[in-house]
């Protein structure tokens, strides 16, 4: 070894300082346990990375650091690339070997810091640097995050749309680990695989009010699968506003609107009549349209039939892609608060619809209870994500033991104008 041996008298001091945290050294000659510097541990360890100038490591191969037999042990290893991405790894219980357990990024510069302890308890350290080679394939996995930048309600999920299908669970885990969501204030959350090309992220509960949510991908240069590497993706930042919740009791024909937990309005409404019952469950505001032409033919009602309609509708707040809105319905004011006469939408007076339209934003929560209708779909017809309980939501993550749940979201692309 290329350092001055220490005596066993420093062991107790070393143990004390190690308990204080990483990077703290053994006792110095002046009696201050923080004054000594770790020795150069180059002679104690072996590394399987490139050591010659100009040589690049194969990102397909794991990193490995070993302690030379009989000369001490490894106490810690950190490996990080120049963008701040860490490499996960495992250290043997006896400190003899550390190896990476997550893939390296291609065409990246890495710094590996190895902490050691010799047979006398003296700490050592070695910093290693190397570059990885470029990907062998030009096939890249891109990710598009949604929604667009802006301010949303506390029910707004984050979406990640992939441009290649990912079916293998191990590959899904690579992708999922690289998709980062950070909120301020921080709240627990998880990704859920909707299908092979789309993931949704939501917290256990709704987002905090006035939160900042930052989303980015660390996939660039990371090998996902055979001949498929992660590509660059545009990050996303959104914020949340107040917590607006509109709860419609279809049996009582009343909507109660809450702001940050406090009731701010009660509105008489009408919901879907028999055969056209409004869906129960939590929905999220998708869009607001001042004017929409609503026709029965767009939701499967035969033209000229008793239920046929073709109406100009104002102050329309959309909550499903299949045509469910909260909107002005001046033709049914006499039934609002007393009976359900609509074709599935929630109707109210023009003045109430204007107030609702001006109060809510995309991502706000619209919940229906006590309807005789079906439950809101989790995926494919808007954002029904909050109708999945937390345990099942977590089971839809590749990092847990569940499987993706729900229908393919491709139906969401078939946007229909409306039901009234």
Is residue 276 domain-shared with residue 261, that is, in the same domain? yes
Tell me what pLDDT residue 16 has: 29
Q: Is 383 part of a structural domain of the chain? A: yes
Is residue 267 domain-shared with residue 208, that is, in the same domain? no
Is residue 300 domain-shared with residue 343, that is, in the same domain? yes
Q: What is the CATH number of the domain that holds 198?
A: 2.60.40.3710
Tell me what pLDDT residue 300 has: 67
Q: 99-113, 191-205, 393-407 — which one is most confidently predicted on average?
A: 191-205
Name residue, tokens 């017809």: 381
Q: What is the CATH number of the domain that holds 88?
A: 2.60.40.3780
Is residue 114 domain-shared with residue 153, that is, in the same domain? no
Tell me what pLDDT residue 206 has: 97
Helix, strand, or coil (residue 14): helix
CA gap 78, 263 in Å, rounded: 52
Q: How many domains is the chain built from? A: 3
Residue (of 111, 96, 93) closest to 46 by Cα position: 96
**Bridge partners, 215 (sequence order):** 181, 236
Tell me what pLDDT residue 302 has: 64
Please identify, among 113, 132, 151, the residue that sits at the C-terminal boundary of a domain. 132
What is the domain extent for residue 54?
8-132
CA gap 406, 388 in Å, rounded: 10
pLDDT of residue 236 exceeding 70, the answer is: yes
How sure is the predictor about 106, in pLDDT bands with cuts at 50, 70 and 90?
confident
pLDDT of residue 408 exceeding 50, the answer is: no
Q: Is 369 part of a structural domain of the chain? A: yes
At 351, list the tokens.
Answer: 């003045």
Average pLDDT, the chain: 84
Q: Is 350 part of a structural domain of the chain? A: yes
Is residue 261 domain-shared with residue 399, that is, in the same domain? yes
pLDDT of residue 406 exceeding 80, the answer is: no
Tell me what pLDDT residue 353 has: 97
pLDDT of residue 299 exceeding 80, the answer is: no
Q: For residues 156-182, give the mean pLDDT.
A: 96
* DSSP-derived secondary structure letter, 302: P
Lowest pLDDT segment from 177-181, 278-282, 300-304, 373-377: 300-304
Q: Is 420 part of a structural domain of the chain? A: no
Is residue 212 domain-shared with residue 250, that is, in the same domain? no
CA gap 56, 62 in Å, rounded: 13
Is residue 332 domain-shared with residue 272, that is, in the same domain? yes
Tell me what pLDDT residue 298 has: 65
Is residue 331 domain-shared with residue 369, that is, in the same domain? yes
pLDDT of residue 411 exceeding 70, the answer is: no
Q: Active site residue: 13, 192, 200, 345, which one?
A: 345
Tell me what pLDDT residue 225 has: 87
pLDDT of residue 419 exceeding 70, the answer is: no
Q: Is 272 part of a structural domain of the chain? A: yes
What is the share, in percent, of the chain residues with pLDDT greater than 70?
81
Q: For residues 149-163, give the mean pLDDT.
A: 97
Tell me what pLDDT residue 7 has: 37
Lowest pLDDT segment from 12-26, 58-72, 195-209, 392-406: 12-26
DSSP codes joined into one string, 220-281: TTBEEETTEEE-----EEEEE---EEEEEETTTTEEEEEETTEEEEEEE-B-BPTTSPPPBE
Please identify, among 102, 132, 162, the residue that sits at the C-terminal boundary of a domain. 132
pLDDT of residue 244 exceeding 60, the answer is: yes
Name the residue with higher pLDDT: 19 or 113.
Answer: 113
331 with 342: CB under 8 angstroms? no
Is residue 336 domain-shared with residue 392, that is, in the same domain? yes
DSSP codes joined into one string, 330-398: GGGTTTTTT---BSSSEEE-HHHHHHHHHH--TT-EEEEES-SSPBPPSSSSS--GGGS-HHHHHHTST
Is residue 123 domain-shared with residue 23, that is, in the same domain? yes
CA gap 294, 180 in Å, rounded: 40
How sure is the predictor about 126, in pLDDT bands with cuts at 50, 70 and 90?
confident
Q: Is 191 part of a structural domain of the chain? A: yes
CB neighbour list of residue 222: distance below 8 Å, 6 or more residues apart: 103, 104, 105, 106, 174, 178, 229, 230
Q: Active site residue: 192, 200, 253, 327, which one?
A: 327
Lowest pLDDT segment from 112-116, 244-248, 279-283, 327-331: 112-116
Is residue 50 domain-shared with residue 104, that is, in the same domain? yes
Tell me what pLDDT residue 401 has: 55
Q: Is 126 part of a structural domain of the chain? A: yes
Q: 32-46, 62-76, 257-271 — which one is most confidently predicted on average?
A: 257-271
* CA dihedral angle for residue 240, residue 232, residue 217, residue 237, rounded to 10 degrees: -10
Active-site residue, 345 included: yes
pLDDT of residue 219 exceeding 90, the answer is: yes
Tell me what pLDDT residue 297 has: 57
Residue (of 374, 297, 294) closest to 326 by Cα position: 294
Where residue 323 falls (left for φ over 0; alpha for ψ -120 to 50; beta otherwise) is: left
Active-site residue, 109 included: no
Name residue, tokens 């150069």: 40
Please identify, among 214, 240, 266, the residue that sits at the C-terminal boundary of a domain. 240
Name the residue with higher pLDDT: 297 or 282.
Answer: 282
Tell me what pLDDT residue 36 has: 55
Q: Is 297 part of a structural domain of the chain? A: yes
Is residue 206 domain-shared with residue 273, that is, in the same domain? no
Tell me what pLDDT residue 19 has: 32
CA gap 265, 163 in Å, rounded: 44
């Amino acid at each position: 070894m290329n350092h001055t041996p220490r005596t066993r008298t420093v062991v107790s001091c070393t143990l004390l300082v190690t308990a204080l945290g990483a990077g703290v050294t053994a006792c110095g000659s002046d009696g201050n346990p923080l004054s000594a510097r770790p020795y150069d541990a180059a002679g104690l360890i072996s590394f399987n990375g490139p050591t010659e100038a100009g040589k690049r490591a194969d990102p397909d191969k794991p990193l490995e650091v070993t302690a030379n037999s009989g000369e001490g042990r490894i106490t810690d290893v950190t490996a990080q690339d120049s963008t701040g991405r860490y490499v996960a790894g495992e250290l043997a219980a006896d400190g003899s070997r550390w190896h990476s357990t997550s893939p390296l990024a291609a065409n990246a510069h890495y710094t590996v810091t190895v902490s050691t302890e010799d047979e006398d308890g003296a700490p050592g350290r070695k910093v290693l640097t190397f570059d990885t080679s470029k990907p062998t394939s030009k096939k890249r996995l891109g990710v598009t995050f949604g929604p667009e930048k802006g301010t949303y309600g506390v029910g707004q999920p984050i979406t990640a749309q992939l441009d290649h299908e990912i079916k293998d669970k191990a590959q899904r885990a690579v992708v999922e680990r690289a998709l980062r969501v950070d909120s301020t204030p921080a709240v627990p959350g998880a990704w859920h695989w909707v299908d092979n090309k789309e993931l949704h992220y939501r917290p256990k509960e709704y987002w905090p009010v006035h939160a900042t949510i930052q989303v980015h991908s660390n996939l660039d240069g990371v090998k996902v699968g055979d001949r498929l590497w992660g590509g660059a993706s545009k990050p996303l930042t959104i914020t949340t506003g107040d917590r607006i919740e509109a709860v419609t009791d279809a049996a009582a024909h009343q909507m109660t609107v809450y702001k940050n937990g406090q009731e701010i309005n009660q509105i008489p409404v009408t919901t879907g009549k028999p055969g056209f019952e409004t869906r129960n469950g939590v929905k999220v505001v998708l869009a607001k349209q001042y004017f929409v032409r609503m026709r029965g033919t767009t939701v499967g009602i035969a033209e000229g039939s008793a239920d046929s309609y073709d109406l100009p509708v104002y102050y329309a707040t959309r909550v499903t892609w299949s045509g469910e809105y909260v909107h002005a319905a001046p033709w049914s004011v006499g039934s609002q608060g007393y009976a359900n006469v609509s074709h599935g939408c929630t109707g109210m007076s023009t003045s109430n619809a204007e107030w609702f339209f001006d109060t809510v934003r995309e991502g706000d929560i619209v919940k229906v209870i006590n309807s005789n209708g079906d439950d809101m779909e989790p995926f494919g017809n808007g954002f029904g994500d909050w109708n999945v309980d937390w345990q099942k939501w977590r089971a839809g993550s590749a990092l847990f033991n569940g499987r993706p749940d729900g229908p393919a979201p491709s139906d969401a692309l078939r946007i229909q104008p409306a039901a009234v």
